Amino acid sequence: MGSNEIDWVENGVNYNVGEIITMWRNNCFHMSSFFNGRNFSIIEGLWKVGIGVQVTIVNVYCSGSLKEKKLIWEEISEYRKNQVSKA
C-alpha cells in the first residue's frame, strides 16, 4: 500500500554505487521539474512552507577522483547556465 504524502525522484545512473533517491513530503514541496545527470539529481519546484518560494535542490553523490568531481560540477554548471538563458 502506498501513500500520497511522500513523493520522490530516483536516479539509477550511478554505476557501482547504486541509486540516488531524493524524497519530500507533498504538503511541503511541489516539484515542477527534474533533471538526472551522472551522479546527481536536480529537482526544482515550490517550497510551500511559509511564504512559498521557488527552490532548486541538487543531490550529488561522488566518491571518485578529483577529475571526476570536476566533471560532475561542470555538468551541473552547464545545466544552470542553460536554465538561466531560458528565463
Query: pLDDT tens, position by position, for the chain (87 residues)?
Result: 456 899 998 887 555 566 788 999 999 999 999 998 878 899 999 999 998 999 999 998 877 788 888 988 899 999 888 887 776
Q: Is residue 70 one of the residues assigned to a domain?
A: yes
User: What residues form DSSP beta bridges with 33?
Assistant: 44
pTM: 0.78
Q: Tell me the C-alpha distance between 69 and 49, whole Å.
A: 33
Torsion of CA 9, 10, 11, 14, to 10 degrees: 140
Report the number of distinct structural domains present in the chain: 1
Q: Is residue 1 one of the residues assigned to a domain?
A: no
Q: For residue 16, give the amino acid letter.
A: N
For 72, the domain range is 6-86
Q: Is residue 71 one of the residues assigned to a domain?
A: yes
